[in-house]
Structure 1
């Protein structure tokens, strides 16, 4: 039994008939071919106050959310695990689950856990609890609506749901406290040394109140909140995966070392066992205020080295690493022990004060019960406004300590907190930190203005234009907890958008051009503009057709829901409009070339394709080895903008731009085919030659005639000259020979090729390297000019742009 007399067993309820359940069931049927046997649901959580102190043994004050992890499950008659996600961006996974040792939890090359690693943690912990005695396997289909990496316990909820599913499949009954303690151990397989707050609130939560959770033994006491108080959760747009770095574990071992040094210096510890800061307090039988004084006394330095810690504890470095450090913290050489211990003890004081102010006497002078809850479950305190200010100041003090002493905040979190202060609203980061969400406390009458203030001063400035307005704020039944649900949803879209933008930036290795990247960005911009245009229409529709939203509220414990219906239900999917993430995915699958921002190469390709089309049209068909080339008409920029108008849906925009991409691809294929066509050589085909070919031939003929005329003139002049003495003739012959040799040296070498094309005889040809060596160099030229000439002659520098840049560079020198 729990503290308020509720059952301590995990509830098993009938299967509700709602859209999400039916959608998950249909997905399961599509993947596995039959209906799931049961469903498991575990909620996320938000911590009101008491951050980073659960693993130090101190109480915390969290509350469960409506956002949850939902798993559809079926039992296999063999020890196998099959895991998939309704979100296609998450990969499927399967493995054997014969024993705990057979499950290897490996992260990606960057050290970030795969999503299914959290499922494996739950399964591995359950196998360890069952001592490998497993008779069946599982097929799991996961649907999560807790924003990932947001500090709202999405990972812990997934671990707990997987563990609960396997235990239920093996017919193992467990109490809420037992399963909560087991799941807390399960998550440590991922590598983080966390406490048990997330799992405890997931299984011990109750409606309409927060929970004051204590340890050793695990216990949860409901705490009601002021009637006029509202809590708002807002995302910082920064991901915070505590398992991806050693930041979290570093804080854990710093608290361990601080506790060990205080206990050693105070004479309360002589062995090498790990001790927490709360255990030190209990051993010394001191108050929290006394422990703050002991921190200043025994930990006076701001920074401690590994060697200094070894000297204090009388151990060597190897023993220190073995007894106190984790695998991902053994390389650390400096530790901030004083700051971490001060935060823990002072945060524990703030939690006690927070709970005390929620348990004050009511206006009529009657005492409420020990936790401040009256008969209807609400906290009817006098002077709600004053209490909100007191509770808010405790939350602000918590954030300041997390930022300055524990150093786990983030610039975006601090910015949100500062924006909140502009409206006299107190807030703090919630969760492990380094990103994720803030939780703010304000009077209910200020909630709408506060949400608008956040939207205008944070989300709009961070280019998240479709943040919801007060119409989309969701309230729970007890009017104590308010979450801007669309902010959380938009955050997931934003994170997906950032991920796709990173993929596009990395796509250079996948042969994507700059035009394709620019086209992807243009598609997203068009989708965003379309969303703006529909905003006013959507608001009017909401007023005319109000819907009943699913409320993020203080949730009960997780449950196993049996699929008791025998008739096969095949729900019809309702058509839904594409969101930003779907548009981005479509853009990523079909890269688009932007017509309005074509490169020089695209223009040349288009011209060549048009010429080839004209030739093919005149001739009818190219005979022999020549291929028939069909040139698709490429829409102009004006036509594109003409088709993409405000009346188009997002889907139409994507399809239109996708068609443009196909046309661009066909244009490139045409260019390749045209360049491969052999149109050289025969007089019978001269009528089919292009203007460029005829012009090149005329130029070559003119050059030949000019050379012949000049030779005839020189011959006539030589015949008319009188003969001179032999010596003069010898000199003239020698000079003529030198002139001839010089002309041969400067003459462009002919390229030996079995296949010559007359079109390009006027173009520059590569010089023979031996001929380059004999070029006479004018000593009056600057070396940079000489170098440029050699580079141009040897074709080291080619292309108009490159030649221009090289010339400017040479002139600069």
Structure 2
């Protein structure tokens, strides 16, 4: 990018785009031919039900992965990759479709997208994909449950569309990226993360039906409300395969209930089958059924501007994740308690853990004029009680993956 092009770009991405373009020029002695961006996401409500036919209510956040690229002068059909954040390099051979390798590496997500895209375009892959230099940088916090991996996958797919002129449908792109994470990172994720990064819109949440893959944008036009994301900066390493364990417990409970989908199960049925389910599966089932209901109602509350009602649902969601699904931790619980103690009189409507759990982030609904005050108070008390410095930022719903140059 020329200085004029860099300076003409405005918005939340401006600093990141300018810095990356300048770094690319410094390292390659020429400007990038393509620049693309894809956002991370935060889920307002609807946790651990994406793989249980539920609803989720995420938004793309104003934190992005940006990739700058240009054709290289190399005679070899290779893509040279460099991550600014990790200060690591890798190389991808374009003469063959990449294969998964274990353990996954930072560039495995990129390889997975290349593999899916090369299979899509078939025999023309080698002629349509030139030797390239790729440079990427991110301001999506890593390890905080804000889907930095999905952002990397979606940014890569968006770049490949730009380079080849082969456009994918939005659903198709999201599903290709999900498959990349399944096959190359070994993570059996649901569809929420990639769909959020692809379909994000400014000033709108996304109500995603994880059974039908139908997505509805829910307008969030009030400038008086902000979404505060606070990273505990902890991630507890667990040895029991808790994610897979929760999925199998839900599958077992659903089978005992004699239903083919959690969408067809009521709390009355769960209560009636309490003895048959046993304590653990009963609590897992109660979370799934109540969280599906909460998420649907939360979308309605946003549409009607019922922020107090939405906040109560967020607190109820956290309690369910803590007690029934058992995926929270002391640090997450502390942040939610701190938000609750500030309360509506201090500008806080509601708060809950977001993401897979056992660490990561909370999401808090705050009056926009009180964000700085609430952030300072929560961070101060959290650090005093844990000795850990948290990281917070407020975001509006942001635009999804797009080409910048």
| Structure-1-length-normalised TM-score | 0.44
Aligned twin of 1:104:
100
* 1:350 aligned residue (282, 294, 299): 294
Q: Contact 1:255/1:337 (CA < 8 Å) preserved in 2? A: yes
Aligned twin of 2:330:
411
1:252 corresponds to 2:95: no
Aligned twin of 1:127:
118
Aligned twin of 1:503:
none
Q: Contact 2:24/2:32 (CA < 8 Å) preserved in 1? A: yes
Aligned twin of 1:390:
309
295 and 132 in structure 1: CA distance in 2 versus 1, 3 angstrom threshold: farther
290 and 180 in structure 1: CA distance in 2 versus 1, 3 angstrom threshold: farther
Gaps of 5+ in 2: none
Aligned twin of 2:233:
237
Cα shift readout 1:378-435 (whole Å, capped 9, x = no counterpart): xxx4xxxxx3222111111111111122221122111111112211243111111111
Aligned twin of 1:42:
38
Q: Contact 2:158/2:401 (CA < 8 Å) preserved in 1? A: no
Q: Contact 1:192/1:248 (CA < 8 Å) preserved in 2? A: no
- Equivalent positions of 1:1-150 (< 5 A) are 17=9, 18-75=14-71, 79-87=77-85, 89-100=86-97, 102-107=98-103, 113-131=104-122, 133-135=124-126, 136=129, 137-150=131-144
Aligned twin of 2:285:
341
Cα shift readout 1:234-288 (whole Å, capped 9, x = no counterpart): 111213799x9833333233333333443xxx3x6xxxxxxxxxx4246xxx454
What is the alpha-carbon distance in structure 2 between the residues aligned to residue 423 and residue 341 of structure 1? 32
74 and 240 in structure 1: CA distance in 2 versus 1, 3 angstrom threshold: farther
The CA deviation at 1:142 is 0.8
Indicate the structure (1 or 2) with the bigger Cα radius of gyration: 1
Q: Contact 1:79/1:134 (CA < 8 Å) preserved in 2? A: no
Aligned twin of 2:261:
280
Q: Contact 1:75/1:169 (CA < 8 Å) preserved in 2? A: no
What is the alpha-carbon distance in structure 2 between the residues aligned to residue 43 and residue 430 of structure 1? 16
The CA deviation at 1:339 is 3.1
260 and 31 in structure 1: CA distance in 2 versus 1, 3 angstrom threshold: farther
Normalized per residue, the structure richer in strand is 2
1:237 is paired with a residue whose SS is strand
Cα shift readout 1:751-785 (whole Å, capped 9, x = no counterpart): xxxxxxxxxxxxxxxxxxxxxxxxxxxxxxxxxxx
166 and 247 in structure 1: CA distance in 2 versus 1, 3 angstrom threshold: farther
- Equivalent positions of 1:467-478 (< 5 A) are none
The CA deviation at 1:293 is 3.9
295 and 134 in structure 1: CA distance in 2 versus 1, 3 angstrom threshold: farther
1:436 is paired with a residue whose SS is strand
2:234 is paired with a residue whose SS is coil
| Structure-2-length-normalised TM-score | 0.84
Q: Which has the larger displacement, 253-262 or 428-437?
A: 253-262
1:49 is paired with a residue whose SS is coil
Q: Contact 2:82/2:136 (CA < 8 Å) preserved in 1? A: yes
Cα shift readout 1:713-766 (whole Å, capped 9, x = no counterpart): xxxxxxxxxxxxxxxxxxxxxxxxxxxxxxxxxxxxxxxxxxxxxxxxxxxxxx
261 and 42 in structure 1: CA distance in 2 versus 1, 3 angstrom threshold: same
- Equivalent positions of 1:541-620 (< 5 A) are 552-562=395-405
241 and 68 in structure 1: CA distance in 2 versus 1, 3 angstrom threshold: farther
Q: Contact 1:149/1:241 (CA < 8 Å) preserved in 2? A: no
What is the alpha-carbon distance in structure 2 between the residues aligned to residue 249 and residue 39 of structure 1? 37
Q: Contact 1:90/1:115 (CA < 8 Å) preserved in 2? A: no
Q: Contact 2:36/2:401 (CA < 8 Å) preserved in 1? A: yes
The CA deviation at 1:164 is 2.6
What is the alpha-carbon distance in structure 1 between the residues aligned to residue 34 and residue 255 of structure 2? 47
Q: Contact 1:295/1:341 (CA < 8 Å) preserved in 2? A: no
2:187 is paired with a residue whose SS is coil
82 and 53 in structure 1: CA distance in 2 versus 1, 3 angstrom threshold: same
- Equivalent positions of 1:280-429 (< 5 A) are 280-281=261-262, 286=264, 288-293=266-271, 296=274, 298-299=276-277, 301-302=278-279, 336-360=280-304, 381=305, 387-424=306-343, 425=348, 426-429=350-353
The CA deviation at 1:217 is 4.1
The CA deviation at 1:454 is 0.8
Gaps of 5+ in 1: 1-13, 108-112, 269-278, 303-335, 361-380, 382-386, 468-486, 490-550, 563-813
What is the alpha-carbon distance in structure 2 between the residues aligned to residue 234 and residue 79 of structure 1? 43
1:457 corresponds to 2:369: no
Cα shift readout 1:146-168 (whole Å, capped 9, x = no counterpart): 00001111111112112332343
What is the alpha-carbon distance in structure 2 between the residues aligned to residue 239 and residue 127 of structure 1? 35
What is the alpha-carbon distance in structure 2 between the residues aligned to residue 247 and residue 125 of structure 1? 29
Aligned twin of 1:478:
none
- Equivalent positions of 1:176-255 (< 5 A) are 176-189=170-183, 190-215=185-210, 217-225=212-220, 227=222, 228-239=224-235, 246-255=241-250
Compare relative contact order (CA 8 Å, sep 6+) and give the higher one, 1 or 2.
Answer: 2
What is the alpha-carbon distance in structure 2 between the residues aligned to residue 464 and residue 407 of structure 1? 23
1:434 corresponds to 2:358: yes
